[in-house]
Every structure is written in structure tokens, then in C-alpha cells.
């Protein structure tokens, strides 16, 4: 018996004994055992059309050959995968497939680069070229910037069609025409992009012939090595292979053993890493001339000339300047921005640097801007601020999905595809709540298009109906929660009619959604920044935590609270304590025992207390501090506040006001204009370490590429700087973990595990051995915790909170009559320092667009593609109008991927949630002008 309760059977293949599960398909068994036979329409992970008949085998006791994709294995089967007659049959079938195939590039002497090429060589078959028959199609027949199409090489295996529909949940590819004219075609015989291709490249990954190929990979390319690593874009945490030649990253290919994503990737993961070798990369430390000369900086904006210097010189300058600020104004006059793009090990060191070396809790990172409300809200409700379930169990086991404030298919695309699969292939019932008609709404049973900033009213309305109909899970509420009665009473006023008047959602739809969410179990709630980036962000999160307790959907597979973290390692940066109020592992700086523990671990001579009990300043507070002059210097790692913070005109003034700013980056980002020292770090492909994805899964990244110039790993830079500062300030490390001596990032992880209970059992070695570790990992034997809160919440009982609807800080009025909401798009990432420097991504989305509804466009006389000016009380933005049904009347949507006047953050408001201090990116008031000044 197997662990999935199936009987095992014994069989032989060419005399080799093999164990399989009864009923398993023979072709799957052969793949698993590494026994290769031609199988051109079959591919693991796709449905089986059984059309090419190439996977023929012989079964002892039966006549003739049979396709392995149609045979279920039985006990004692004796299979022949190789025999003289099979050899003949395979050759005939391959010859038939060559009838309409032509390849002018085939080189029989070369290692084969496609699956089909391998079999042609194996059976000594020469593919026809244009000399043998006229090419039916033009080579490179589609203008897609990342994918090359050559239908002359297509053998109609239909893997591309199935990959697009079954994996990506898109239906770009299909078959056109009949009999010998049959061909694959995009959409209605149009370009791939016109056919709504999302450029994920799944069709390329599965194509066995090279008819669809990576435009940026030469057909004869052969990598020196393939290095599996973790994506540096979003929090899904896909793995893939970096294809390396001569120390350079040439392209990315999927790896079927990738634990989160298998063969699937999104457009950024598959095509967005050419930035690694972009000529803009920072290669040498640079310091402003005024700093080196010891003169005063000009106060009129420009900080003057850059001078390239040695690492020693640059780090000495930083150590002296930071020390001077500490001596004159105290440690809290410095602000430190850590980076969710960097590894756990680097984030750990950044907060250690802030707390031990500088002596301040003024450390924060972009989680402040994306999910700080999730962390605060869930920690208060359950005792842990993280995603409770895994993506696989949500996509594989939830029977109802409530996606609110998450444009999943664009922001977490591989997980978005998994949700589409759950709906298409399993019949999971999807309810989407979003002010925009996002792509997932197409797949939803119900789209609740509520007004921005009315989430609490909507969710309270759903819960009101659930209770009215007696659908609440009383047993769960009684056994596992507290403060239910007051919470229940608070919902009385949220009648469907009242909620409809606040949200704009028809009352009938609210009732229908409540019926689905209240009756179908398990039900998973999924959210992202549509929920968190509000002045009521924490209250929004309380509402969703309440919903999952009310319906008893916590601590079970397929249920839970599932906030999707944005950046690749924003979860890890939080875990590592790169936050103003917590040490690593969310040990509060206000907790005396935690302070004692870290004071001891990082102890320095001549300093009794390394840090105080008061939490430090958040990003937005540090920016305000710089404006007022209380923050005099910054150390910024891999963040670009000039792009990503709200009300960037204010941020520009603040950074201009700061006396001394150090930026550690891979590119001269927009923030570099405000820096005095530039320290060149390295990209994810040039360093070792770990990222923690949105589901708390800790994964390795690997150094695979030669770094440009003098660029150094970020952990090595911070370590070097820390040592210099300690020496400069005559501080001797005396605590067990006070020293800054690390031979590798694995050694840093050892220090982390000693001080961070939730990471106690983590090691690079365990990860290298293939263990899948989700924190908490309590010790070296513990296997991790894929699902949180099973049987008991981290805090004991789950706590219901009363959350009341409150309007957003700035709503449309007569002067600014439109509501602006903001976010990212599929093809770019955050401030887009990397994606704007990727040729395919920049080609796919070259300029900033703002979505405007048809009604507003008609009223304002705006045509599609017209350049428009958006104005708020804080600034202006110039963008191209994208007239679209995605936004309702009165709402416009913009992104923050393009700099200067094209950045939507010129307009956004820096009003923040009072608890989490997260800005309200999702709602402010604007007007549109069509006359450009």
C-alpha cells in the first residue's frame, strides 16, 4: 500500500524491475523512472490527447504495440520499451511527423536542443529543409518580443494549446483549418498579444520542436551549467534554472522539480532577467566630491559630482559620517531602509547593524508600504501575522475562494494561474471583490465591484447575512475564539440595503456571495494590497480574520487567511526584524526579555544598553523626520523611495534635506540623485542566501553569475561597514553573536537560527538537501509548519475585533472629482528599476498608462492613447489614456513603474493607518486635464 492508499504493483521494463501504483499510467511510470521513449504529444502535467502515437511499447502476452499513454499498469506486467520492431515503428511515426516539418537550422552533429531533435538523431532521421519542400510559413511569424514563432517546425502535438489553457488558464492557441492544412494559430488568426497572450511562455516550455522558442536564446545555445534558484520578483517564490555561459546569465528555463511552480513561470520570471547584465549596473563605489573634499554640500538640489573610489575609502567615509551624526545628535538621527529584494541573511544583518552598531530601532522596509496592516491585524487576531496556508493547498483543496483586493493573475501570476485552474478544472467557486474588473473577475461566479475604501462595510455585510441565516460555525466559534458576542452585535446595522448604499454593490449580489462563502467549505480568503493600503488597513484585515473565524475556516487545508506578500522576500525581511518594532522572529522591542536577549547576544564593550524600549520610526515617519531635520542621515539598501513612497514630491524634499545618504543598490535608481555615497551591491543571481516566500517557505538562491566590476554581496558590504564603525567607535564585540565574522551566508543563517525561534531548525544544508521548510521550524528535526493555527491559534484563542466602516481620508469632491486607485501591472515590478531595464518587458509595456472608464473619457473628450495630465492636491502626472471597462465611472487607475512626471506617486496621499502606518495608496482624489501645459 502506498501512502495515498493505492496498492503498489510490480512490473518490468526491458527486464528492469519497477514498483508503481496500481492504475498509474505506464507513460508516467516510464518518465518517473527516467526511461525515455518518444512521446511527443504527452508531457507530464498536461492532459493526454493520445494523438501522436509515438510512445509505443510492447506488452508481454499481447499482440502488437500500444501507446504507453493509454496503458494503466498492472501487477506482473512485462513491458518492452525497446525492440527491433518498436525501432521500426518509432521511425515510421517520426517520419510521418516530418511530412510538413522543415528546419533549416538543424545540425545533425550538434547536441540536440529540442526533444524532437533528440529523437530525430536517435533514429538517424534528417529533417527536411527549405531545399526539400517549400516552407509553408514565414519564419518568425509573430512580433512577440519574447517568443519566436516558426510554424514550419510545428508537428501539431498541441502541447502549446494545452499548456496555455490548462496551466495558464488562457486560451491563446488553437487549431485552424482542416486535414493537411491544419495549423496552430493564436486567437482568431491574430498576433499572440492581440489574442490576449500574457507572455508566460508556458507554450514555449512545453513545445518539443522549437516551433515556439525563446527569442533571446539562440537555437544552438548550450549552457555551461544550469543553476536552480528562486525568483527575485514576487512573493510566489518560483524556482527555475539560470542558464549560464562564461559566467553570464543567458536565459531562464523552467525546471520540472521546482517545488512551487513546476514548469510554470510568469513573463517576468521567464523573460525578465536580462537586467542582470545591463550596462547601467553600478560597478564601483562612488562618493560625492563635496564629501571627499570635506566641504559643505550645495543646498540647491544637485548634490554635485560623483567620484569613483575604492571600497576602503567609501566605507571609511560612511563610518566617519555616520559616527559624527551619532555623536552630535544621537543614534536616532539615522534612518535605515532595509530591502525585501535582499536575502534573509542580509536583512538580518541590516537590523543588527541598526540596533547593535548604530543603536536605533529606526529600521524599516517596504513591508510598511504593502502588508504592515496584515502583519498587525493578523498578529492581533491570531498571534501570527503571516499567511496561514500554502498556495498548493488553497488552489488544490479550497472549494470556495474569496479573492478581495488582490489582482492575483497580474501580481502573483503563477498563483493566479493556479486559481484559474482550481475554477476550471476542479469547479471551485470563486467570488472576486475588487473595484476594478480585474482579469480574475472573468473566472468568478460573482464579481462584487465595490467602491474603493468600502471593504469593511462589504465584509461586514457578508457576515451579517451569514449570521442572519445561521450559517456561522458555532462549534468553532465556541471552542476556539473569544469576544464573539460584541462582534456579532456590531454587525446588526450592516444590512444588505445599508451595505449596498455604501459599497455600490447590488444587495442581491451581497446575499449570493454570503451564501457561497457561508456554505461552501473549505473556503480560503486571499488578499493583497487592495485590502492593506488604506488608512483602515488593519481594520480591513480584522474583518477578514473575523470572516474566517465566523465560518470555521481557520486551521484547515484549503481554508485560512492568505495575504499574498508582494516582493520576493518581503515575508523574510519581516521575519528577520527589519521593522521598527520587532527583533527577528517578531520578538517585540517593547518586551524586556527580548531586549535582554539581544543585548546579551550582540553585547559591546563600553555600552550597557544597545537600544531602548521604544519602537523606532517607520519609513513614512523617517521621511517626515528628514523634512523636520530630526533624521539627518539614511542608509538605504535596495529601496527606491523616490518611486515607491506616497506623495513623492514630499519624499524628494525630505531626501534633499537629509545631510548624508548612503544608497546600496545595483542600479543608479531615481533615489541615487539624493545620495552622497553609492555602494554597488549584486543581483539575486550573484549571491547565495535564502528568500522566504508568501507562504513562509524558505528557499535558497545561488551565486551563478560573475558580478560586474567591484560590486560585492550586500551582506559582505554591511559586514565590512559594521566592523569599521565598531572599530572607529572603539566598541569591542563581547556577546556571543556580537562579532561581524561570517564566512558565508550559511554562517549568518546559523546566527539567525540561534536567535529566532521560528527559524530555529532552518539551515542551508537542510534546504540544499531538498527539504521544504515552512516556518515555524522549531528545531533541526522539526519538518516545518505548512498550515498555521491547526487545533489552536498561535495566541491561544482567536480574537474577534469590531471593525466599523470609515471613509477614506480623501474622497472626490467638486475640485478633484475622480477617485484614483493605484497598483502594479503584469510586466513591471515596483519602481521597475529591473523591469524597465529588461528588453522584453520594456517592449511589452513601454510607457505608463492610466485606465479611464468609457463614460469619463466621453465626458472629458479623451481618446484612447491620448496624453493626459492627472492632478491631485500634491502633484501631477502625465500618462497615456487607456480607455477601459476595467474601471467603473468615477475611478481611474495608475501605476508607479515609470519615473518623474509619469509616476502615479506624484499624486498619492501620505495619510497612514494609525496602527500599521501604511499609506493610503488605494484612494485619493484627482482630476484629469487634457490640455498639457
Binding site for ligand SF4 (CB under 6 A): 231, 233-234, 236-238, 261, 265-266, 268-269, 412-414
Cβ closer to ligand SF4: 29 or 414?
A: 414
Cβ closer to ligand SF4: 162 or 268?
A: 268
Peptide bond into 522 cis (omega under 30): yes
Measuring CA to CA, how many Å separate 19 from each of 29, 59, 154, 726? 9, 16, 36, 61
Instruction: Choose among 519, 531, 583: nearest CA to 561.
Output: 531
Residues 6+ apart with CB under 8 A from 768: 700
Cβ closer to ligand SF4: 200 or 924?
A: 200
Cβ closer to ligand SF4: 100 or 412?
A: 412
The span from the CA of 872 to the CA of 892, in Å, is 12
Least spacing, CB of residue 680 vs ligand SF4, in Å: 24
The span from the CA of 368 to the CA of 375, in Å, is 10
Cβ closer to ligand SF4: 548 or 692?
A: 692
The span from the CA of 800 to the CA of 477, in Å, is 10
Helices (H), strands (E): how many in the chain?
31, 37
Instruction: Choose among 61, 87, 110, 82: nearest CA to 13.
Output: 82
Residues 6+ apart with CB under 8 A from 585: 575, 577, 755, 756, 757, 758, 759
Burial class (CB in 10 A: 0-12, 13-18, 19+), 188: exposed
Residue 653: half-sphere exposure toward Cβ, Cα within 13 Å: 11
Residue 455: half-sphere exposure toward Cβ, Cα within 13 Å: 34
Cβ closer to ligand SF4: 200 or 378?
A: 200
Residue 91's CB is within 10 A of a number of other CB atoms, namely 16
Least spacing, CB of residue 246 vs ligand SF4, in Å: 25
Instruction: Choose among 54, 84, 76: nearest CA to 67.
Output: 54
The span from the CA of 647 to the CA of 659, in Å, is 21
Least spacing, CB of residue 913 vs ligand SF4, in Å: 26
Least spacing, CB of residue 826 vs ligand SF4, in Å: 9
The span from the CA of 620 to the CA of 536, in Å, is 16
Cβ closer to ligand SF4: 228 or 871?
A: 228
Least spacing, CB of residue 523 vs ligand SF4, in Å: 24
Cβ closer to ligand SF4: 234 or 925?
A: 234
Cβ closer to ligand SF4: 238 or 325?
A: 238
Least spacing, CB of residue 266 vs ligand SF4, in Å: 3
Q: Which residues pair with 2 in a beta bridge?
A: none
Burial class (CB in 10 A: 0-12, 13-18, 19+), 478: exposed
The span from the CA of 66 to the CA of 70, in Å, is 8
Cβ closer to ligand SF4: 264 or 534?
A: 264
Do 293 and 321 touch, CB atoms closer than 8 A?
Answer: no
Cβ closer to ligand SF4: 231 or 698?
A: 231
Amino acid at each position: 500500500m502506498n501512502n495515498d492508499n493505492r496498492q503498489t504493483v510490480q512490473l518490468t521494463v526491458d527486464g528492469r524491475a519497477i514498483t508503481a501504483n496500481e492504475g498509474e499510467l505506464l507513460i508516467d511510470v516510464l518518465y518517473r523512472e527516467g526511461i525515455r521513449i518518444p512521446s511527443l504529444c504527452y508531457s507530464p502535467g498536461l492532459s493526454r490527447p493520445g494523438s501522436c502515437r509515438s510512445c509505443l511499447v510492447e506488452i508481454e502476452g499481447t499482440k502488437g504495440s500500444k501507446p504507453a499513454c493509454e496503458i494503466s499498469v498492472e501487477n506482473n506486467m512485462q513491458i518492452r520499451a525497446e525492440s527491433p520492431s518498436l525501432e521500426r515503428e518509432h521511425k515510421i511515426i517520426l517520419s510521418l511527423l516530418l511530412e510538413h516539418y522543415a528546419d533549416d537550422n538543424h545540425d545533425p552533429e550538434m547536441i540536440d536542443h529540442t526533444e524532437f531533435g533528440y529523437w530525430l538523431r536517435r533514429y538517424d532521421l534528417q529533417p527536411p529543409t527549405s531545399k526539400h519542400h517549400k516552407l509553408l510559413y514565414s519564419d518568425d511569424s509573430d512580433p512577440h518580443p519574447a517568443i519566436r514563432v516558426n510554424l514550419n517546425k510545428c508537428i501539431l502535438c498541441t502541447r502549446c494549446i494545452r499548456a496555455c489553457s490548462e496551466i495558464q488558464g488562457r486560451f491563446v492557441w488553437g487549431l485552424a483549418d482542416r486535414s493537411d492544412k491544419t495549423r496552430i494559430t493564436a486567437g482568431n488568426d491574430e498576433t499572440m498579444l492581440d489574442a490576449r497572450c500574457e507572455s508566460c511562455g508556458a507554450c514555449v516550455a512545453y513545445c518539443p520542436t522549437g516551433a515556439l522558442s525563446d527569442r533571446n536564446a539562440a537555437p544552438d545555445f548550450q549552457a555551461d551549467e544550469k543553476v536552480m534558484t528562486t525568483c527575485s520578483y514576487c512573493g510566489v517564490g518560483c524556482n527555475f534554472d539560470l542558464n549560464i555561459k562564461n559566467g553570464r546569465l543567458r536565459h531562464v528555463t523552467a525546471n520540472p522539480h521546482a517545488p512551487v511552480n513546476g514548469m510554470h513561470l510568469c513573463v517576468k520570471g521567464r523573460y525578465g532577467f536580462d537586467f542582470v547584465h545591463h550596462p547601467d549596473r553600478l560597478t564601483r563605489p562612488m562618493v560625492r566630491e563635496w564629501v571627499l573634499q570635506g566641504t559643505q554640500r550645495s543646498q540647491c538640489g544637485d548634490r554635485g559630482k560623483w567620484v569613483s573610489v575604492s571600497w576602503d575609502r567609501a566605507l571609511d567615509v560612511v563610518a566617519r559620517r555616520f559616527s559624527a551624526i551619532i555623536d552630535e545628535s544621537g543614534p536616532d538621527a539615522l534612518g535605515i531602509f532595509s530591502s525585501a529584494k535582499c536575502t534573509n541573511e542580509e536583512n538580518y544583518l541590516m537590523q543588527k547593524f541598526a540596533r547593535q552598531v548604530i543603536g536605533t530601532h529606526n529600521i524599516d522596509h517596504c513591508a510598511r508600504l504593502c502588508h504592515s496592516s496584515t502583519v498587525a491585524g493578523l498578529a492581533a487576531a491570531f498571534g501570527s501575522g503571516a499567511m496561514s496556508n500554502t498556495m498548493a493547498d488553497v488552489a488544490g483543496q479550497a472549494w470556495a475562494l474569496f479573492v478581495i483586493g488582490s489582482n492575483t493573475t497580474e501580481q502573483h501570476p503563477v498563483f493566479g494561474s493556479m486559481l484559474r485552474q482550481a475554477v476550471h478544472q476542479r469547479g471551485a467557486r470563486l467570488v472576486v471583490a475588487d473595484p476594478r474588473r480585474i482579469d480574475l473577475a472573468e473566472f468568478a461566479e460573482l464579481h462584487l465591484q465595490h467602491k474603493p475604501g468600502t471593504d469593511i462595510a462589504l465584509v461586514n455585510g457578508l457576515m451579517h447575512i451569514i449570521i442572519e441565516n445561521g450559517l456561522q460555525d458555532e462549534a468553532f466559534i465556541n471552542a476556539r475564539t473569544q469576544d464573539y458576542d460584541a462582534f456579532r452585535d456590531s454587525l446588526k446595522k450592516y444590512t444588505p440595503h445599508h451595505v449596498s448604499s455604501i459599497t455600490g454593490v447590488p444587495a442581491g449580489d451581497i446575499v449570493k456571495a454570503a451564501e457561497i462563502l457561508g456554505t461552501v467549505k473549505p473556503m480560503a480568503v486571499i488578499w493583497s494590497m487592495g485590502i492593506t493600503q488604506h488608512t483602515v488597513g488593519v481594520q480591513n484585515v480584522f474583518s477578514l480574520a473575523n470572516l474566517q473565524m465566523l465560518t470555521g475556516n481557520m486551521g484547515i487545508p484549503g481554508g485560512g487567511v492568505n495575504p499574498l506578500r508582494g516582493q520576493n522576500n518581503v515575508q523574510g525581511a519581516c521575519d528577520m526584524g527589519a521593522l521598527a518594532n520587532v527583533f527577528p522572529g517578531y520578538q517585540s522591542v517593547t518586551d524586556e526579555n527580548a531586549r535582554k536577549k539581544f543585548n546579551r547576544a550582540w553585547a559591546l564593550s563600553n555600552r550597557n544598553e544597545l537600544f531602548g524600549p521604544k519602537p523606532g520610526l517607520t519609513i513614512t515617519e523617517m521621511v517626515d523626520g528628514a523634512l523636520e531635520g530630526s533624521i539627518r542621515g539614511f542608509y538605504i539598501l535596495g529601496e527606491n523611495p523616490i518611486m515607491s513612497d506616497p506623495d513623492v514630491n514630499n519624499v524628494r524634499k525630505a531626501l534633499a534635506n537629509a545631510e548624508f545618504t548612503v544608497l546600496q543598490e545595483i542600479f543608479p535608481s531615481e533615489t541615487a540623485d539624493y545620495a552622497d555615497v553609492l555602494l554597488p551591491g549584486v543581483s539575486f543571481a550573484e549571491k547565495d542566501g535564502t528568500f522566504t516566500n508568501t507562504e513562509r517557505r524558505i528557499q535558497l538562491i545561488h551565486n551563478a553569475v560573475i558580478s560586474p566590476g567591484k560590486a560585492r554581496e550586500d551582506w559582505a558590504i554591511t559586514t565590512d561597514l559594521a566592523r569599521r564603525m565598531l572599530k572607529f567607535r572603539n566598541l569591542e564585540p563581547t556577546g556571543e553573536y556580537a562579532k561581524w565574522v561570517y564566512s558565508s551566508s550559511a554562517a549568518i543563517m546559523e546566527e539567525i537560527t540561534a536567535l529566532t525561534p521560528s527559524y530555529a531548525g532552518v539551515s542551508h544544508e537542510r534546504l540544499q538537501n531538498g527539504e521544504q521548510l515552512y516556518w515555524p521550524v522549531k528545531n533541526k528535526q522539526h519538518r516545518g509548519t505548512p498550515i498555521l493555527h491547526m487545533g489552536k491559534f498561535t495566541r491561544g484563542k482567536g480574537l474577534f475585533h469590531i471593525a466599523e466602516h470609515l471613509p477614506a481620508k480623501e474622497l472626490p469632491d467638486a475640485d478633484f472629482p475622480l477617485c484614483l486607485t493605484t497598483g502594479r501591472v503584469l510586466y513591471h515590478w515596483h519602481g521597475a528599476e529591473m523591469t524597465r531595464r529588461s528588453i522584453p518587458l520594456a517592449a511589452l509595456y513601454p510607457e505608463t498608462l492610466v485606465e479611464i472608464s468609457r463614460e469619463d473619457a466621453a465626458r472629458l473628450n479623451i481618446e484612447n492613447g491620448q496624453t493626459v495630465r492627472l492632478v491631485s492636491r500634491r502633484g501631477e502626472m502625465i500618462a497615456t489614456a487607456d480607455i477601459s471597462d476595467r474601471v467603473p465611472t468615477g475611478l481611474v487607475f495608475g501605476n508607479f513603474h515609470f519615473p518623474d512626471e509619469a509616476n502615479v506617486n506624484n499624486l498619492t496621499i501620505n495619510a497612514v493607518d494609525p496602527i500599521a502606518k501604511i499609506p493610503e495608496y488605494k484612494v485619493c482624489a484627482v482630476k484629469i486635464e487634457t490640455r498639457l501645459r
